[in-house]
Amino acid sequence: MRLTLYTDYALRILMMLAARPAALTTVSEIAAFYAISENHLMKIVRRLRKDGVIETVRGRKGGLRLALKPAEINIGQIVRNYEDDMRIVECFDAETNTCPIAGACALTKTIGEALGAFQATLDRKTLADVLAESPKLNRNFG
C-alpha cells in the first residue's frame, strides 16, 4: 500500500499547521520546509480549504491555519478523501478486472482484510494523536 504524494503532502501540511496553532503559516514556508513546489501545494491547500479542514487569511500578514481542532481531524478520513483509488489490486474493481482467476482466488479476501486493517488503524488516529505521539515534531516546525 502506498499513499499518493497528494495525500502525503496534505497530511504534512496538516501536521505543520497543528504544530503551530497560534501562528499563521504561509504556503511559501511550508514549501521551503518540505522542499515541495508551491504550485503543487496550492492545489492541495485549495482542496483542504474547500473541505473545511483549513482556513486561509488573505493579506500581507495572511496565511493558513487549521479550521478544526487537531482532535477533530481523523487521519483515516483524510486518507480516504484524498486517495483517488484504494483498489490496490486489479480484482477489487469489477468493471476493469481481467484476472482469469479472480472468482477462485482467496488472495482477494486476504488483501481486502489487510486493507481494512490498514484503514481501521488510520481511523483510530486523529491529528492530535499524531502530534502527541511525535514529541520531536513540534521542535522541527519551530
114-131 pLDDT, tens digit per residue, is 888 999 999 999 999 999
**pTM here?**
0.87
The answer to whether the CB of 37 falls within 8 A of the CB of 83 is no
In this structure, are residues 119 and 83 in contact, taking their beta carbons and an 8 Å threshold? no
pLDDT at 7: 96
- Asked if 15 and 131 touch (Cβ cutoff 8 Å), the reply is yes
What is 5-88+126-141's CATH number?
1.10.10.10
> Phi and psi at residue 138, in whole multiples of 5°?
-60, -40
Least confident window among 5-14, 27-36, 42-51, 104-113: 104-113
Lowest mean pLDDT among 2-11, 47-56, 74-83, 107-116: 107-116
Task: Give Cα 54 to chain centroid, integer Å.
Answer: 13
What are 31's three cell numbers? 514549501
Q: What does DSSP assign to residue 63?
A: E
Sequence ranges of the domains in the chain: 5-88+126-141
pLDDT of residue 128: 96
Chain segment 54-77, per-residue pLDDT in tens? 999 998 889 999 999 999 999 999
Residue-wise pLDDT for 4-40, tens only, equals 999 999 999 999 999 998 899 999 999 999 999 999 9
